[in-house]
């Protein structure tokens, strides 16, 4: 068996967009019978949602949206992207340009070739907007889903 492909999703807070991507991709690969092919996590470039070493759960509105699609957020807690992750993952998929800059700062230039925007897999140059600020959770979800569909197609 070949080694699993290790994907880390990255956003600012790890309570909205990157957990959406992590949990939706886990659901998609499970449905496709491909869960053994992947290791999937998500993390934040800020430490806003980690308190005394304990990560916050997925934000209420994101959790409600995912649960409405049959996807559980149980057990997911925010974590901060760290330098050590550079050696532990093959791909870092960011939600926006600021995430790419911050992830590159954290992981170092030697990992820059592994850091991309998720929507580039949908052939798009745009960002997944932060629903923490836009309050448009459905829009962020559909952007994430499009990126993931492109990603999975590229990893056949």
Q: Which residues bind to ligand 4NP, rule: CB under 6 A? A: 11-17, 48-49, 130, 132
Q: Write the CA distances from 94 to 23, 30, 70, 133, integer angstroms.
A: 15, 22, 24, 17
Which of residues 13 and 147 has its CB atom nearest to ligand 4NP in the complex? Answer: 13
Please choose, from the candidates 14, 32, 8, 3, the residue with its C-alpha nearest in 3D space to the C-alpha of residue 152: 32
| Secondary structure class of 45 (helix, strand, coil) | coil
Which of residues 135 and 153 has its CB atom nearest to ligand 4NP in the complex? Answer: 135
Q: How far is the CB of 156 from ligand 4NP (least distance, A)?
A: 28
Q: 54-55 and 50-51 as β-strands: parallel, antiparallel, unpaired?
A: antiparallel
Let me know if 130 is a catalytic residue.
yes
Which of residues 74 and 109 has its CB atom nearest to ligand 4NP in the complex? Answer: 74
Please choose, from the candidates 89, 81, 93, 91, the residue with its C-alpha nearest in 3D space to the C-alpha of residue 122: 93
DSSP label of 70: T
Options 11, 16, 73, 94, the catalytic residue: 11
Residue nearest to ligand 4NP (CB): 13
Let me know if 11 is a catalytic residue.
yes
Options 96, 127, 130, 143, the catalytic residue: 130
Let me know if 16 is a catalytic residue.
no
- The residues carrying an active-site annotation are 11, 17, 130
């Amino acid at each position: 068996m070949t080694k699993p492909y290790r994907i880390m999703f990255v956003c600012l807070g790890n309570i909205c967009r990157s957990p959406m991507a992590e949990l939706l991709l886990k659901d998609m690969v499970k449905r496709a019978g491909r869960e053994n092919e992947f290791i999937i996590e998500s993390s934040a470039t800020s430490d806003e949602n980690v308190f005394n070493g304990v990560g916050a759960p997925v934000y209420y509105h994101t959790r409600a949206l995912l649960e409405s699609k049959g996807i559980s957020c149980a057990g997911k807690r925010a974590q901060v992207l760290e330098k050590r992750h550079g050696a532990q993952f093959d791909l870092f998929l960011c939600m926006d340009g600021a995430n790419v800059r911050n992830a590159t700062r954290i992981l170092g230039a030697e990992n820059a070739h592994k850091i991309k925007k998720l929507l580039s897999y949908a052939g798009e140059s745009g960002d997944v907007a932060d629903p923490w600020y836009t309050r448009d959770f459905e829009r962020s979800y559909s952007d994430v889903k499009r990126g993931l569909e492109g990603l999975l197609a590229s990893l056949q």
